[in-house]
Structure 1
Amino acid sequence: MSSEIEGKRPKGSRWKNVYETLRTEILSLALPPGQLLDETTLAERFDLSRQPVREALIRLAGEELVVTLPNRSTIVAPIDIATFPKYVEALDVAQRINTRLAAELRSEADLKIIARRQREFVAAVKSGDHLAMSEANKRFHMAVASAGRNPYLASFYERLLDQGRRMLHMHFEFLKRTQNGYLLTDEHDQMLAAIKAKDVEQADALAHAHTRQFRDNFIDFMKENYTSDVALNQIRAAE
């Protein structure tokens, strides 16, 4: 059965469905951090041989979404709380510089794209779909980065946004439960207004506040659900 189905697919695309499905499940936390990803089990699930499954896992490893252990087994990449302060530090720098550049260099066409991405994010928030929200959030921020006209800084920013997608889902869960979901949409609107006004310092300040809000809400979520007060107090002290 497996070989018969595989034979009907273009040879170079057999891994794509596995990759896209697993990526969605990892980002949405349907596959939790640390979950074992057994090639044989996945091959049976997708009715494929192990080769396209292996190719999908290699690509996910390239995005740092899975990790290959010394015994050659593969797991969903853990979320390392101990390194969270360093991640937020890098995110803050990237977010601020890209938003500053956007305020300085944006065109009218850029403003239209950023505004469109913000409308898409608002629609995603209303849908309650966290995966759609994180995708729309990334598109909004990458539209801002594009307006900054520095592809190197934009690329660095995109990598950080991708690495933080699972943490962002936890962040959204916290906002949903505490009824503070409006904060993100309001902050995006304020950032857009500062970029439109070419107010570089205000854009910088808003980008910084945006990162801090994500940091604080993520830590509060982890404090309630996963991690001890002691560990999280150490994280706060390290920032």
Structure 2
Amino acid sequence: MTGNAKKLETGAVERKRGSGVKYVYDVLRDEILDLTLPPGSPIDEIQLSERLKMSRTPIREALVRLASEGLVSTLPNRSTIVSNIDFLNLHTFFDALTLMYRVTTRLAAENHVAADLVAIKAHQAAFSKAVAAQDALAMIATNRDLHAAIAEAGRNPYYTSLFCRLLDEGRRLLRIYYQSYDDRLPHEYVEEHNQMIAAIEARDIDLCDRLGQQHADQIVAQIQKMISRDRRRPIAL
């Protein structure tokens, strides 16, 4: 085999391996964020290998990546579980989330170009469709994509990276929150998003700041209300 042939073969193997890691990562990440794999549940590498028809090497590499994002944890006995949600320190998460809603919406008003608005409005249309269909998983995913697009319009990749991580971590909280509804899922976010988009398009930075704060405040208040709900049932003695 010639040197060039060896390089081509090696490159193909590396690409295949890399795509395998990404595939495993994407599957596990979505299952964790959508609570298909609930907090605290074990991740069995052997069963996962059989289910995904992959070797254990890309699975382990994907787990390392998920661990770096705080989505899985390795126990002292080297077993892996889905990370628990740190309810005791949610205030720090809420502080960061609120700041990012404000900052990214402000920057989008200041720095967006026409193509950004096209992308933002397309994501908003997808979100509105998900709300109309009462599809909780689609609402969570399209909400994340909308706010990521707003962050990208702000032209600060560091804020975008941080905000996307916060939005992804928040997907588990939103999934729990939506599961608490016995009837129709809330529609108010559609109008809030429309107001934010209009303020971005008008380049009204101060209004974007206020709307970002209000949007975050409502989400935080609803999640806190859901978490603190008294779920005790009367027991006859």
Please give the TM-score of this superposition, normalised by the length of structure 2. 0.82
Structure 2 match to 1:221: 226
- Picking from 119, 122, 125, the partner of 1:113 is 119
Structure-2 residue corresponding to 1:208: 213
Cα distance per residue 1:53-96 (max 9 Å; x no partner): 21221222233211112221110010010111100001111110
Mean alpha-carbon deviation: is it higher for 36-45 or for 73-82? 36-45
**Aligned-partner Cα distance in 2 for 1:24–1:149:** 27
Name which of 28, 46, 60 aligns with 1:22.
Answer: 28
When residues 157 and 47 of structure 1 are mapped into structure 2, their CA distance, relative to the original with a 3 A threshold, is closer
Against the structure 1 CA distance between its residues 180 and 22, is the aligned structure 2 distance closer, same or farther, given a 3 Å change threshold?
closer
- Deviation at residue 111 of structure 1 after TM alignment: 1.9
1:36 correspondence with 2:42: yes
Instruction: Tell me how far apart the structure 1 counterparts of residues 223 and 206 of structure 2 sit (CA, whole Å).
Output: 26
Cα pair 2:134 2:185 within 8 Å, conserved: no
Amino acid across the alignment from 1:211:
A
Name the structure where helix makes up a greater proportion of residues. Answer: 1
Name the aligned partner's letter for residue 219 of structure 1.
Q
Structure 2 unpaired stretches of 5+: 1-14, 233-237
| Aligned equivalent of 1:186 | 191
SS of 2:37's partner is coil
Deviates more, 1:41-50 or 1:25-34: 41-50
TM-score, normalised by the number of residues in structure 1: 0.82
Task: Please point out which of 58, 74, 78 is paired with 1:68.
Answer: 74
Select 2:166's aligned residue among 146, 149, 160. Answer: 160
Larger Rg: 2
Q: Which amino acid aligns with 2:212?
A: A
Distance 1:57 1:129 in 2: 29
Structure 1 stretches of 5 or more lacking a match? 1-8, 228-239
Q: State the Cα RMSD in Å.
A: 2.4
Distance in 2 (CA, whole Å) between partners of 1:214 and 1:30 is 22
Give the C-alpha shift of residue 47 in structure 1: 4.0
Cα deviation for residue 11 of structure 1 reads 4.3
Equivalent positions of 1:29-178 (< 5 A) are 29-174=35-180, 176-177=181-182
Please tell me the residue identity of whatever aligns with 2:194: D
CA spacing shift, 1:101–1:48, aligned 2, 3 Å: closer
Shift of 1:19: 2.6
Q: Percent identity?
A: 45
The question of whether the paired residues in 1 share the 8 Å contact of 2:33 and 2:168 is answered with no
Shift of 1:178: 5.8
Q: CA deviation at 1:12?
A: 4.3
Q: Deviations over 1:149-202 (max 9, x none)?
A: 22222222112112212112223334x536451111111011111112222111
Task: Give the stretch that moved more between structures: 148-157 or 124-133.
Answer: 124-133
**Structure 2 match to 1:236:** none
SS of the residue 2:228 aligns to: helix
Q: Tell me the CA shift for residue 126 of structure 1.
A: 2.7
Cα distance in 1 between the residues matched to 2:102 and 2:54: 45
2:70–2:83 CA contact under 8 A, matched in 1: yes
